[in-house]
Amino acid sequence: MTSERILEAIAPCGLNCAKCFAHVDGPIRKHSLKLLEALGNFDAYAQRYVTLLDEPVFRNYPAFKQMLEYFAAANCGGCRHEQCKLFAECGVRRCHQEKGVDFCHECAEFPCANTNFDERLYGIWLAVNQKIQQTGLEAFHEKSMARPRYV
């Protein structure tokens, strides 16, 4: 029996929703919120540091802050709760619900063309599902939680 904790983290396609930048409880959102809080009103200082420190990199602060705010506003509950917010055309969620499997590799038709993924994501999807089959879900989950999502 697959634990609820693992099912909450690993999407039906095998990607780790819990580590995604769009996940409401993910580490990227949490760290972005903390960094925004730690920076406080750094906007005014960033402008001054361009001249005071002779550091043109501080001109990029508004774009950096905009990205942090975007990450901090993440609100996806994960693919088991809603359609993926990153891949609007993803066919995995619907398919896994129709077929009653937890993960794609459990399906008799795996691998298939029902994902609607581009070539790169399809390759990742295939490799991840094969890795889950080889190592087992618990070991895969542990390793996926210990490494960055975007490798």
Blockwise average pLDDT, block size 10, the chain, 151 residues: 83 93 94 98 94 94 98 92 83 90 94 93 95 95 91 77
pLDDT at 2: 66
- Written as one letter, the residue type at 21 is F
Compute the C-alpha angle 149/150/151, nearest 5°. Answer: 105
Q: Report in angstroms the alpha-carbon separations of 89 from 11, 24, 29.
A: 15, 21, 24
